[in-house]
Amino acid sequence: MSWGALPPAVQALVMGGVILGALTGILAYVTLLERKFAARLQSRIGPYRVGPRGLLQPIADGVKLLLKEDVIPETADRPVFNLAPVVFLIPCLLIFGVIPFAPGIGVADLDTGVLFFLAISSLEIVGLFMAGWGSNNKYALLSAMRAVNQIISYDLPFIMATLVPVMLAGSLRLSEIAAAQSRLWFIAYPVIGQIAFVFFIITAVAAENRVPFDILEAESELVAGFRVEYSGMKFAIIQLAEYAHVLGTSFLGALLFLGAWAGPGPIWLGPVWFLLKALLVFLLITWVRWSFVRIRVDQILRVSWKLMLPASLLLLLATAATIVWRTPHA
């Protein structure tokens, strides 16, 4: 029974299963990549004792978290507390459903791919707030309140920044955006491409609660923020979800700006190039993370509303003007 003969629903299901499986493996090793990269930035070696050059470290971490005691505070709101990690995880995994990993390979190639991605990825706020509320902990509550503020504020400039490649490609469908970069990657588009990429990175860092915008988990003040009461596998799920979100945004960035699967070599090497580009974006976000101190929540919001939003609106206007100017009139 050939692949094409299967009904599209079954095709999507199998594809989803394969992608989820590959994703979990990649996620585990992305954490190791981040730790080693961060270590080298800090003149030290990352994990190196577990397995050859530390390659078994993620597995060791997973086993450790599995074996830890699952502590639920007595006064916590149990259903909310227990469901929160799952509600947090689902949107972060769903965003991978709409990314095409190669022309034709992907779970679903929606007409409104970009819109779906952005909408679903901001649903993680629900899980986050459930975690903060259900923990019955002042620190967690403070952190959840800050998180809602921050993610909502930065979603707008994030949308504007992703709209630039959409306008340049003329479609919301992710595979079409990737195909439209066959001549020129959008990051190489004079001025507008670079600025849009910079804005994308900034707002992505903010929307994912990474330093310098990670006030909601400011360890030195709030000691892990909304995650403070979680231990064991629930904590592992929350961590996994956060990294999945970062990786998903990196894939989106690679697709929107870096040409997705375009690269030298045969066509089946495409997904590998895509992964490498996504890891490049991920390392860029990580490099930003490990270079700066964090700013206060009111400053974060000020940057968003007073700087990023007007700037990204201006950028959209400029993009529209450029497109009109460069389109030959019929």
Partner 1 sequence: MPDVRAIDYAGSERLTMNMGPQHPSAHGVFRAILTLEGETVVGVDAVIGYLHRCHEKLAETLAYVQYPSIASKTDYVAAMSSELAYVMAAERIGQFEVPKRAQYLRVLMSELQRIASHCLWLGTWCMDMGGALGGGATIFLYCIRERELVLDLFESLVGARLLYGFHQVGGVRYDIPEGWTAECRKTIALIEQRLDEYEAMLDDNPFFTMRTKGVGAISRALAQDVGVSGPLLRGSGLNWDLRRNQPYSSYDDFQFDVPVQAAGDCFARYRVRMVEFRQSIRIIRQVLDGLPAGPISSRPGVKSLAQVKVPKGEAYARVEGPRGEVGCFLVADGSNKPYRMKWRGASFSNLAVLPHILIGCGVADVVAIMGSVDPVFGEVDR
Partner 2 sequence: MLDRKRGIFAEAWSIGKAVGQAMRITFVNFFRKPVTVHYPTVTRPFPNRFRGLLALTYDKETGEENCIGCRLCEFICPPAVIKVEMLKAEKRNYAKTFTLELYACEFCELCVQVCPTDAIIMMKSFDLATGDRREMLLDKDRLHAIGLQHEPSWATGNLLRDMQQPPKKESKAADAADTADKAKATDKAAGA
Out of 138, 191, 314, 320, point to the residue binding partner 1 (CB under 8 A). 138
Of these partners, partner 1, partner 2, none, which one is at the site of residue 144 (CB under 5 to 8 Å by kind)?
A: none
- The two structure tokens encoding residue 152: 């909502």
Nearer to partner 2, 56 or 288 (CB): 288
Of these partners, partner 1, partner 2, none, which one is at the site of residue 287 (CB under 5 to 8 Å by kind)?
A: partner 2
Q: Which of 317, 288, 304 is CA-nearest to residue 157?
A: 304
Least distance (Å) between residue 154 CB and partner 2: 16
Amino acid at 326: R
Residue 294 as a binder of partner 1 (CB under 8 A): the answer is: yes
Cα atoms in the Cβ-side hemisphere of radius 13 Å centred on 262: 18
Nearer to partner 1, 61 or 109 (CB): 61
How does 285-302 read in b/e, with b if 16+ C-beta sit within 10 Å? bbebbeeeebeebeebbe
Least distance (Å) between residue 48 CB and partner 1: 16
Nearer to partner 1, 34 or 155 (CB): 34
Residue 221 as a binder of partner 1 (CB under 8 A): the answer is: yes
Residue 85 as a binder of partner 1 (CB under 8 A): the answer is: no
- Is residue 12 within 8 A of residue 107, CB to CB? The reply is yes
CB atoms within 10 A of CB 268: 9
| Euclidean distance between CA atoms 25 and 16, whole angstroms | 14
Residue 290 as a binder of partner 1 (CB under 8 A): the answer is: yes
Q: Which residues bind partner 2 (CB under 8 A)?
A: 39-45, 287-288, 290-292, 299, 302-303, 306-307, 311
Instruction: Name residues contacting partner 1, limited to 31-60 (CB under 8 A).
Output: 38, 41-44
C-alpha distances in angstroms, 195 versus 187, 251, 308?
Answer: 9, 19, 12
Of these partners, partner 1, partner 2, none, which one is at the site of residue 138 (CB under 5 to 8 Å by kind)?
A: partner 1
| Euclidean distance between CA atoms 102 and 27, whole angstroms | 19
User: Given the rule CB under 8 A, which residues bind partner 1?
Assistant: 38, 41-44, 138, 142, 210-212, 214-215, 217-221, 223, 289-299
